[in-house]
């Protein structure tokens, strides 16, 4: 009887073990699948970009020329546009979203927290094409009549800034794209920051208040240092979205392959160029140049993520006791 | 009670009649945005008459060529004709469907449609960035009485590749040596100045929204968006307004048989009344289509458009193809577009 008992117990164990093996294989294939998808994307991008890289070499990165008639292409203008619009977006979105998050977690009366929190999440849920249409029909004309003439007037006599804000006020352009991107990435950074701020142990804050700290001091010396790793994660997520955003930017950036000193001038980004021109790229070199642009965007994103990882690692080293 | 029965019977009969053709395949095509308004109008009328719909994606001429080469659609549409060599290599047949005019559109305070006069070299200079202010002597010379503002010109062009751009650039290259050597002719160009907008609709919207701007669109888009179009000086040196008659005059003397696949560009045609930026738009379809039934349906639709669509085209200020050209095109169909057994597909049109 005990033999039969142990036999059935063995069978149960075996069944459990085989079930575990299946589970392990399933999870491992899923994880390796990601690597394979990523790997094949890299292979396709590189092989597609090769003709263009062979034809233009490293000069592809440094020339502004983008001429489909003579099939001479350079990526400088889209790279410049991508970086500058993202920089504008982050300059505006990071401080504003941090302030939103601080307000929501530290200062906001309880009654208002939920509605404001939900509003931020809704802002994140709006499809980018809606931002694009709104940007083109509402926001760009508004900027054209108000902010842009004001900036041109204001900085006209200032030496460096007068080139940075040189007219005519088109309404659309690099600045408009940057502002739209700022609005689009703001909810991501704000809601992640809010979550990590909420995770700060109340004991720490209470202790700080207990020794007579002001709200500002609590935020500055307790909340922010405790949550900075998470905040940087949120900022990087927002930056990733800003770098790759296509539809909204295409609508409002002006789609001109030029590097201009003025941020009111039209420009283009890598993803906007690809979206605009891919259906029309008839020559092999033309399509290959567009794929090369895709590869460059991939590399830029990779560098940004690697930098973020590195930054996080160093912070964790310092924070850890 | 009996009345009700009749009504129900009639209703269900009508429903069945409309449902039956709805099950029939839709004709699928993709390409140029230039003729999209008239294709949409024709498709609407054709559907009411036959129940067969048209699914046309106006993604631009280059996109149309790509899609037909990839065989994802029954026909492609392009405003830039394929060369004879290209047609031979791909096994495509090409024929013009309708003609129209490209017009410069401006947004200037106090200037109404048809008030401003421009000529080819001036337009080329503006789009090259050589003329940058409305106050420029070259524009003043053409418009001695108009009150032109001292304002920077905001140039709006297409950001996607387009047949409208192709025809526009073709005309500018004809009249401006500078344009020819510095920019050239293609569906996408390296623009020196201005902002890029997607599609004819995009250019129309940007010009409407931007003060002191200039752009170029197909005439139907200018009318639909109530934009201020300009008059032009033509090859004969006469000032003409963009009208059906002016587009027709440009089309009248075209020698359609001189180029393979009827690939004649109508820009800068001679004649006192010719509009200089007249353009045709072409259909591309396979000689031996993968799906002969779908191709036959498409040909039926085109034949119907040639025969019944003229008036609708004129209402939108397009120019229908002349009857003798249509005859030639239908002969080309009968001779070249065949199914696997070698039976001409257009034989089913009558």
Q: Is pLDDT at A280 greater than 60 in this prediction? A: yes
Tell me how close the Cα of B222 comes to any Cα of chain A, in angstroms.
18
- What ipTM is given for this predicted complex? 0.74
Check CB contact under 8 Å for A68 and B191: no
Write the pLDDT tens digit of every residue in A253-271.
988 898 988 888 899 999 9
**DSSP 8-state assignment for residue A222:** I
CB atoms within 10 A of CB A274: 18
Check CB contact under 8 Å for B161 and A256: no
Could you give the angle at the alpha carbon of A263 between the alpha carbons of A258 and A266, nearest 5°? 40
Q: Out of B62, B190, B211, whose CB is closest to A282?
A: B62
Q: Which residues of A touch B187 (CB under 8 A)?
A: 68, 280, 282
Write the pLDDT tens digit of every residue in A163-189.
888 877 888 899 999 999 999 999 999
Instruction: Report the predicted TM-score, pTM, of the whole model to 2 decimal places.
Output: 0.80
Q: Out of B151, B162, B190, whose CB is closest to A69?
A: B190
SS (H, E, C) B66-91: HHHHCCCCCEEEECCCCCHHHHHHHC
- Interchain CB contact of A173 with B (< 8 Å): yes
- Residues with Cβ within 8 Å of B171's Cβ and at least 6 positions away in sequence, in order, are B102, B120, B267, B268, B276, B277
C-alpha span between B157 and A297 (Å, rounded): 26
Output phi, psi for A200, to 5 deg.
-65, 125
- Interchain CB contact of A178 with B (< 8 Å): no
Mean pLDDT of A273-300: 88
CB atoms within 10 A of CB B132: 16
3-state secondary structure of A294: helix
Q: In the structure encoding, which two tokens stand for residue B332, read together?
A: 């080309």
Check CB contact under 8 Å for A140 and B209: yes
The crossing angle, in degrees rounded to 10, of helices A284-319 and A224-244 is 180
Q: Which residues of B touch A255 (CB under 8 A)?
A: 159, 195-198
Give the strand pairing for B92-107 and B278-286. Answer: antiparallel
Could you give the angle at the alpha carbon of A265 between the alpha carbons of A262 and A267, nearest 5°? 110
Portion of chain A with pLDDT greater than 90, in percent: 52
- Interchain CB contact of A140 with B (< 8 Å): yes
What residue of B is the nearest CA neighbor of A171? Answer: B210
Q: In sequence order, what are the beta bridge partners of B102?
A: B218
Q: Which residues of A touch B208 (CB under 8 A)?
A: none
- Interchain CB contact of A57 with B (< 8 Å): no
- Residue among A306, A270, A251, A249 at smallest CA distance from A45: A270
Residue B295 contacts residue B337 (beta carbons within 8 Å): yes
- Residues with Cβ within 8 Å of A203's Cβ and at least 6 positions away in sequence, in order, are none
- Residues with Cβ within 8 Å of B349's Cβ and at least 6 positions away in sequence, in order, are B296, B299, B300, B303, B330
Write the pLDDT tens digit of every residue in B53-99.
999 998 888 888 889 999 999 999 999 899 889 999 999 999 999 99
Mean pLDDT of A97-115: 91
Could you give the angle at the alpha carbon of B20 between the alpha carbons of B16 and B22, nearest 5°? 115
């Amino acid at each position: 009887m005990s033999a039969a008992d142990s036999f059935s117990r063995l069978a149960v164990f075996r069944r459990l073990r085989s079930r575990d093996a299946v589970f392990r294989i399933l999870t491992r294939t899923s994880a390796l699948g990601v690597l394979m998808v990523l790997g094949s994307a890299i292979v396709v991008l590189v092989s597609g970009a090769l003709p263009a890289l062979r034809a233009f070499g490293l000069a592809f990165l440094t020339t502004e020329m983008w001429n489909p008639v003579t099939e001479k292409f350079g990526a400088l203008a889209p790279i410049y546009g991508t970086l500058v619009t993202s920089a504008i977006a982050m300059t505006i979105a990071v401080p504003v979203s941090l302030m939103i998050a601080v307000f929501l977690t530290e200062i906001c009366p309880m009654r208002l927290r939920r509605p404001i929190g939900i509003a931020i999440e809704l802002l994140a849920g709006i499809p980018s094409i809606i931002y694009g249409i709104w940007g083109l029909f509402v926001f760009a004309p508004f900027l054209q009549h108000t902010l842009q003439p004001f900036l041109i007037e204001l900085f006209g006599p200032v030496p460096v800034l007068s080139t940075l804000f040189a007219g005519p006020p088109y309404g659309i352009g690099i600045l408009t794209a940057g502002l739209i991107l700022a609005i689009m990435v703001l909810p991501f950074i704000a809601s992640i920051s809010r979550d990590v701020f909420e995770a700060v142990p109340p004991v720490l804050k209470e202790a700080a208040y207990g020794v007579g700290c002001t709200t500002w001091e609590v935020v500055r010396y307790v909340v922010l240092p405790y949550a900075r790793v998470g905040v940087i994660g949120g900022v990087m997520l927002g930056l990733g979205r800003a770098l790759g955003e296509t539809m909204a930017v295409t609508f409002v950036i002006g789609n001109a392959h030029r590097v201009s000193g003025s941020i009111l001038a039209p420009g283009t980004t890598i993803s906007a160029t690809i979206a605009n021109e891919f259906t029309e790229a008839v020559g092999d070199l033309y399509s290959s140049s567009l794929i090369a642009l895709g590869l460059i965007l991939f590399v830029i994103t990779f560098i940004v993520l690697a930098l973020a990882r590195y930054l996080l690692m160093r912070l964790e080293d310092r924070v850890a006791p | 009670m009996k009345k009700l029965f009749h009504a129900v019977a009639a209703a269900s009969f009508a429903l069945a009649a409309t449902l039956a053709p709805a099950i029939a395949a839709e004709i699928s095509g993709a390409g140029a945005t230039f003729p999209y308004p008239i294709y949409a109008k024709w498709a609407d009328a054709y559907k009411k008459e036959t129940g067969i719909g048209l699914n046309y994606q106006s993604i631009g001429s280059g996109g149309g060529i790509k899609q037909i080469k990839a065989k994802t659609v029954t026909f492609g549409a392009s405003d830039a004709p394929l060369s004879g060599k290209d047609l031979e290599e791909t096994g495509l047949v090409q024929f013009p469907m309708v003609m129209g005019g490209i017009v410069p559109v401006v947004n200037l305070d106090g200037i109404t449609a048809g008030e401003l006069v421009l000529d080819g070299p001036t337009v080329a200079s503006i789009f090259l960035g050589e003329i940058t202010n409305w106050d420029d002597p070259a524009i003043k010379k053409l418009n001695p009485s108009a009150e032109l503002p001292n304002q920077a010109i905001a140039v709006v062009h297409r950001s996607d590749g387009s047949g409208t751009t192709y025809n526009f650039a073709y005309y500018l290259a004809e009249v401006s040596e500078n344009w020819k050597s510095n920019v050239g002719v293609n569906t996408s160009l390296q623009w020196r100045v201005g902002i890029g907008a997607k599609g004819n609709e995009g250019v129309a919207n940007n010009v409407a929204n931007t003060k002191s701007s200039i752009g170029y669109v197909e005439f139907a888009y200018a009318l639909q968006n109530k934009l201020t179009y300009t008059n032009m000086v033509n090859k004969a040196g006469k000032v003409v307004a963009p009208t059906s008659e002016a587009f027709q005059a440009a089309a009248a003397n075209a020698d359609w048989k001189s180029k393979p696949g009827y690939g004649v560009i109508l820009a800068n045609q001679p004649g006192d009344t010719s509009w200089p930026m007249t353009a045709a738009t072409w259909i591309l379809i396979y000689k031996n289509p993968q799906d002969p039934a779908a191709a036959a349906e498409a040909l039926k639709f085109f034949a119907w458009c040639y025969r019944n669509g003229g008036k609708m085209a004129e209402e939108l200020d397009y120019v229908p193809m002349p009857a003798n050209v249509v005859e030639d095109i239908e002969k080309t169909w009968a001779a070249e577009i065949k199914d696997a057994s070698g039976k001409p597909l257009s034989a089913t049109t009558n």
